[in-house]
Amino acid sequence: MSAENALEYDVIVVGGGPAGSTTAALVAMQGHNVLLLEKEQFPRYQIGESLLPSTVHGICQLLGVSEELREAGFMPKRGGTFRWGSNPEPWTFSFSISSKFSTEASTAYQVERMKFDQILLDNARRKGVEVRERTSVTDVVEDDGRVCGVHFTDADGVRHTARSRYLVDASGHKSRIHQRVGGKRLYSEFFRNIALFGYYTGGKRLPAPNQGNILAAAFDSGWFWYIPLTDELTSVGAVVRQAELERVQGDREKALSKLIDECPLIAEYLADAQRVTDGPYGEIRIRKDYSYSKEAFWRPGMVLTGDAACFIDPVFSSGVHLATYSAMMAARSINTSLRDQTQETAAFEEYEARYRKEYALFHDFLVAFYDMHQHEDSYFWNAKKVTNNTASELESFVELVGGGASNEGALVDAGSYLTERASAFEELSQIVQRPVHVEGEDRNLLQASLARSVVKAGARIQVQAVIGENADEQTPVRPGGLIPSLDGMHWTWPAA
Ligand SMILES: Cc1cc2nc3c(=O)[nH]c(=O)nc-3n(C[C@H](O)[C@H](O)[C@H](O)COP(=O)(O)OP(=O)(O)OC[C@H]3O[C@@H](n4cnc5c(N)ncnc54)[C@H](O)[C@@H]3O)c2cc1C
């Protein structure tokens, strides 16, 4: 064990995937001292390549990486094309159907995760997070019933201990420490599927303008995803029922080819394609038992985000959305508690309630979606039912599968969200005639003593009187619940 005793942070984040780098950046942007520990050396391979508008235009804009994403040249994704249900013909939806996804936000991306995750991790570094790669967390440190740090092993095999006021487990489905929040990981019987996947060059594309869409094709044993990552490269995966386990266990190459032969649409799209056989895309991989939810998402001093807390199913590409949305909400809870620890229980209960609500929406919708005997109209109807939406059935479906069902302004129009909050602070500064310091794109507003006072009920009412509904655009999602603060990076109590 190293004699390095002085490792003290406000927050330690375990894992540098989308959940970890988002939480770390949004906490560091409030001026807190954050250490992020990542087991691998980036860029590292990860599955989960089809993104939703809520991630691309919501969270990524809050993080300030929109320009970098544009420059990375990722494949634009307008929506999805499905050969699914009782309709023998493929049907297509576009995000632009929903009024929530304005012109720019009506396109998401298909990404190579090695590149996407690297952009988010580098951004966290730039925001002031201390990032250590090739560093593996082995256990948590507890003191008097509270989690207060981690034990980890560095790239040279040296063991260390670091202490923090909050620990974030964002170490994904392979988390070694999730059990330390208590409760079990409950695996879903319904979604107990197996995924077998590889990469191809030269696969066919859907006709323009939908050439960047995810294509999902059902067949007797399950369904295929077909994700165009570049003009040349395609991610192809079969999701089959647990009963098919034996078929995929032996020779993976043969098993994948056989499954492709059984699905005429995918066979047609891959007719002239070659499987990639070297480099990070050269392996045919298997994932199973990936659908679960933890009984508890937090305990004093520790919170689970992203896959460490729960994951449902790949069919609507909700994984990175849930990872980054949960990360934003966990960051709010941490920022709130670091400012005032008496708010800890309320802040983390809010986090857990909202994360479970979003998870439940996708879960309940997907249970009905896996009934292959329905026409797509019935799936759209079901989306309206589970979201309790007043919009049309098709629009409700698109809002849900675009990641916009939660009514979080930050997920569907982050640009206006940031502008509204900046101008609300401006208005407030004029009311009390003291300047507010706005720090560039980080909008590090809460560091100003004036800004801190905003969360107090009196100031809130004062702001509301002047700027109207902007001060309280959100209503609680449950009785007695909290709402996002004026700066969007904390929780606060709704005005009486
Ligand atoms: C078959 C399949 C297909 C999918 N397709 C999609 C899709 O198309 N779109 C989509 O949005 N999602 C998809 N997903 C889900 C997606 O992969 C995940 O939801 C997403 O990667 C979760 O992000 P995360 O940050 O929580 O975890 P991860 O991305 O897994 O990141 C966790 C990080 O923690 C690190 N780590 C682990 N243990 C330790 C440790 N002890 N110490 C330090 N670091 C550690 C890991 O190295 C890793 O970098 C799919 C999932 C599956 C199973």
Give a yes or no: residue 84 inside a domain.
Answer: no
With b meaning 16 or more CB within 10 Å and e meaning fewer, what string describes 60-72? Answer: bbbbbbbebbeee
Q: What angle do CA 240, 246, 251 make, to 5 degrees?
A: 95
- For residues 332 and 197, what is the distance between their CA atoms, to the nearest angstrom? 36
Query: Which atom of ligand 1 is nearest the CA belonging to 319?
Result: 19
Q: What is the CATH number of the domain that holds 238?
A: 3.30.9.100
For 239-296, write each residue's pLDDT tens digit.
Answer: 999 888 888 888 999 999 999 999 999 999 999 999 999 999 999 999 998 999 999 9
Ligand 1: which of 304, 320, 355, 358 to mutate, most ligand atoms within 8 Å of CB?
320
Give a yes or no: residue 1 inside a domain.
Answer: no
Task: Decide whether any atom of ligand 1 lies within 6 Å of the 425 Cβ.
Answer: no
Task: Decide whether any atom of ligand 1 lies within 6 Å of the 53 Cβ.
Answer: no
Q: Give pLDDT, residue 424.
A: 65
Do 268 and 283 reside in the same domain of the chain? yes
Domain coverage including residue 117 = 8-75+108-185+292-390
For 382-427, write each residue's pLDDT tens digit.
Answer: 899 999 898 999 999 999 989 999 888 888 877 777 777 667 666 6
Residue ending a domain, choose from 260, 288, 316:
288
* d(CA 483, ligand 1 centre) in Å: 28
Query: Which atom of ligand 1 is nearest the CA belonging to 307?
Result: 26
> Residue 429: pLDDT band by 50, 70, 90 thresholds?
low
Give a yes or no: residue 95 inside a domain.
Answer: no
Q: Taking the model in full, what pTM does it have?
A: 0.90
| Cα 441 from chain centre | 22
Do 383 and 450 reside in the same domain of the chain? no
Amino acid in position 247: R
Give a yes or no: residue 103 inside a domain.
Answer: no
**Taking 60 as the threshold, does the pLDDT of residue 151 lie above it?**
yes
- For residues 494 and 496, what is the distance between their CA atoms, to the nearest angstrom? 6
Do 256 and 326 reside in the same domain of the chain? no
For 118-128, write each residue's pLDDT tens digit.
Answer: 999 999 999 99
* d(CA 15, ligand 1 centre) in Å: 9
Rounded mean pLDDT of 223-229?
98
Give a yes or no: residue 319 inside a domain.
Answer: yes
- For residues 273 and 236, what is the distance between their CA atoms, to the nearest angstrom? 11
Cis peptide before 300 (omega within 30 of 0): no
Give a yes or no: residue 87 inside a domain.
Answer: no
> Residue 434: pLDDT band by 50, 70, 90 thresholds?
very low
Give a yes or no: residue 352 inside a domain.
Answer: yes
Number of structural domains, the chain?
Answer: 3
**CA R_g for the chain:** 23
Q: What is the CATH number of the domain that holds 324?
A: 3.50.50.60
Do 122 and 177 reside in the same domain of the chain? yes
Do 275 and 296 reside in the same domain of the chain? no
Task: Decide whether any atom of ligand 1 lies within 6 Å of the 484 Cβ.
Answer: no
Tokens standing for residue 454: 């905003």
Amino acid in position 458: G
Beta bridge mates, 288: 194
Task: Decide whether any atom of ligand 1 lies within 6 Å of the 314 Cβ.
Answer: yes
> Residue 372: pLDDT band by 50, 70, 90 thresholds?
confident
Do 160 and 133 reside in the same domain of the chain? yes
- Strands 274-275 and 185-187 turn out to be unpaired
Query: Which atom of ligand 1 is nearest the CA belonging to 44?
Result: 49
**Taking 70 as the threshold, does the pLDDT of residue 152 lie above it?**
yes
For 183-218, write each residue's pLDDT tens digit.
Answer: 999 999 888 899 999 999 999 999 999 999 999 999
Residue ending a domain, choose from 375, 390, 405:
390
Backbone torsion region of residue 424, taken as left when φ is above 0, otherwise alpha when ψ lies between -120 and 50, otherwise beta: alpha
For 358-370, write each residue's pLDDT tens digit.
Answer: 999 999 999 999 8
